[in-house]
A and B are shown apart, each in its own frame.
Chain A
Amino acid sequence: MTLLTVEALAAGYGGREVVSDVSLVVGEAELVALLGPNGAGKSTLLGAIAGSLRPMRGRVLLGGREVTGLDPAALAAAGAALVPQRRNVFRSLSVAENLAISAWPDRRQAARRRDEVLALFPALAGALRKPAGLLSGGQRQMLALGMALMAGPRLLLLDEPTAGLSPALVEEALLAVTELKRAGVAALLVEQNAREALRHADRAIVLAAGRVVREGSATELLAAPDLGALFLEGAA
C-alpha cells in the first residue's frame, strides 16, 4: 500500500529549478534509496518533500493526505520525520535525554517508544548516560534514527546517514537503517554510497540533472550493466 506519493514536484533555489517534475512513491515499511551523482538534486528533492525547502510545483501526499510545504515539525506530526545529514543529535545532551526530548510531540508514548528504540538498537542501551557528542559515528546515526522514531512516524526521510563516516562504519549505519523495516517504518534514503545503499534497499530511484532517469528493484539495479557508467562509479 502506498504511503508517500510525490507528484510532479519541482524545487530549487533563488528561482532556479534544480529538480523538475519528479514523481515517486514509497510503500508501507518499504526502504527506497534515492541515488544519483553529486549535484543530481537528491538533497534538494528530499528537502522539498520534508518541508525544509518550499516546492515550486507539484504535490506531496502522505497516506493520501496532502502535506505539500508543511515545515519539518508539522510533517513530523503528520507522520514523516526528517533525519538531517550532519547535525542530527543534540551533542551536549545524553543519549537518554536525546531520546526523551524527541518524544515531545507525543510525550505520553515516550516510555513505550524508548523501549522499542532500545530493542531495535541495543548498542544505545549501554550508552544512555553518555553525551551524544561522544558517540561513535555509527552509534550517532542509530541515535538519530531512534530520535526520529520517538515521535512514532510511519516514514523517515534520511539525508545521507553515512556522510562523513569511515568505510567501516558505513555498513553499520546502513544496517541500522534496515532495522527500521522491523519496526514497520518506511524510509526514503538519500545516499552517496550507491552500491552499499542498493544492497540494503528494496527499491531505488536514480536521479540525474534533477530528473528521474531510472527506477526499479534494488537487486535489478545492482545487476544492471549500464548503471556504473551512469552514476555508480562517479558517486561511490
Chain B
Amino acid sequence: MMQLLLDALGAAAVVAPAAVGFSLLFALLGFANFAVGAYVAVGAFATWSANGLLGWPLLASAALAAVVTGLVVLACDAAVFRPLRGAPGWALLISSVALSFVLENLLRLAFRGEVRGFDLPLARPLVFGDLRVPPDLLWSVGVAAIALVAVLLGLRLLPWGRALRAAADDMALAAVRGIPVDRLRAGAAVLGGALAGLSGTLAGMNLAIEPGLGWALTVPVIAAAILGGIGSAPGAVLGALLIALAEELAARFLSPAYRPGVGFVALALALLLRPQGLLGRPVAGGRDR
C-alpha cells in the first residue's frame, strides 16, 4: 500500500504543476486551453536541449525550460488567443487544439521526431523493507513540491499573486477596481507556461521525450484542474493527487490498461456531481441574504 501511495505521489508530481498552470490560464483567459499538453512537450524538449545538448545539470535545465515554456505560452497567447478575445469559449477551445498540432509538428520539425532522453546517472532505488524508492522520484516530488509551495505562497502573499487570485475570481470587477488586467493575463500566461514546462521536465524523466509526449497528460491535467476547482491552485494540486491515486488503484486492482481512462471518468464525475470542483466556489451562487 505504501508503494502504491509513493507511486501515486510520483505521478501527481508530474501532473500537478501543469494542472495549476491550466487552472490559472482557464481562470484568467476564460477558456479550456487544450494546448496544455503541447506546452508540457515544449518544456520536455527545452529541458532536453539544455541537459542533453548543452550538458547543463537537470535542475538548471528545468529552470531554463520553465522560462522558455512561459515565453512560448505568452507568444502563443499574443498570436492565437488575444485576437480571438471575446469569441465564444468553443472557438478558443478549438483553436487551442489546433495550436497543439502546430506546436507538436514544430517540435517534430526542430528535433526531427527522434525519441530523446535526459542524461541522468543510473542510480539504484533506495530500499526500505518492501518499499522501493527510485532517487528520481524523490527528485521529482521534491522539485514539484518546492515549486508549488512557492507558487501557492506567492499567490497568497505577494501583491501580484493576490491580484491574480482576484482576477481569477472576477475579471470584470478587477478591471473596475483599477487592477491592470491585461498585464495580469500576460503574467498568468508566463506563470501557467512555466508550470507546464516544469511538468515537461518531470514527465521527461519517466516517459520517452517525443513531440506527442503531452497528449498522454492532457486529460489527467485538465481533469485534475476541474476536479480541484477552476481558479483554485490548491484545488488543482489536490485534484492531481486524487487522480494519480485513482490511476494507481486502477492499474493495481483492474489492469494497467485502465490507467488512461481514469482521467476521463474523474472528469465526467466531477462535471456531473460537483462542477465547481472540490475547492471551487459554486458556479451559480445562491440567493443573497
Which residue numbers of A lie inside 8 Å of B, CB to CB? Answer: 52, 71-73, 76-77, 81-82, 84, 86-93, 97-98, 100-102, 104-105, 107, 133, 136-137, 140, 147-148, 151, 164-166, 169
Contact = CB atoms under 8 A, between A and B. Distances in A.
A87 B287 contact: no
A84 B162 contact: no
A75 to B, nearest CB: 9
A102 B178 CA distance: 7
Contact of A73 (B170, B178, B288, B289): B178
A54 B224 CA distance: 41
A136 B176 contact: no
Nearest to B175: A73
B172 A92 contact: no
B177 A104 contact: yes
A151 B162 contact: no
Contact of A90 (B169, B175, B178): B169
Contacts of B287: 164
A86 to B, nearest CB: 8
B163 interface: yes
A71 B172 CA distance: 12
Interface in B157-172: 159, 162-163, 165-166, 169-170, 172
Contacts of B231: 92
Contacts of A84: 172-173, 176
Nearest to A100: B162
Contact of B176 (A76, A86, A91, A169): A76
A86 B172 CA distance: 12
Interface in B52-73: none
Contact of A87 (B173, B180, B289): B173
B288 A92 contact: no
Contact of B177 (A76, A91, A169): A76
Interface residues of B, number: 23
B178 A169 contact: no
Contact of B289 (A82, A101, A137): A137
Nearest to A131: B281
8 contacts: A73-B177, A92-B281, A98-B166, A101-B163, A102-B178, A104-B159, A104-B179, A147-B177
Given A133-B285, A151-B177, 9 more contacts: A72-B175, A73-B177, A76-B178, A87-B172, A90-B169, A92-B231, A92-B281, A97-B165, A101-B174
Closest 4 CB pairs of A and B: A105-B178, A164-B288, A90-B169, A72-B176
Contacts of B163: 101, 104
A164 B170 CA distance: 19
B176 A101 contact: no
Nearest to B181: A73
Interface string B176-214: 111110000000000000000000000000000000000
Contacts of B177: 73, 76, 101-102, 104, 147-148, 151
B89 to A, nearest CB: 19
Interface in B121-178: 159, 162-163, 165-166, 169-170, 172-178
Given A84-B173, A164-B288, A101 B281 contact: no
B166 A90 contact: yes
A140 B178 CA distance: 20
A92 B175 contact: no
Given A76-B178, A97-B162, A100-B162, A169 B289 contact: yes
A91 B169 CA distance: 7
Interface string B223-254: 00000000110000000000000000000000
A105 B177 CA distance: 8
A41 B215 CA distance: 52
Contacts of B165: 90, 92-93, 97
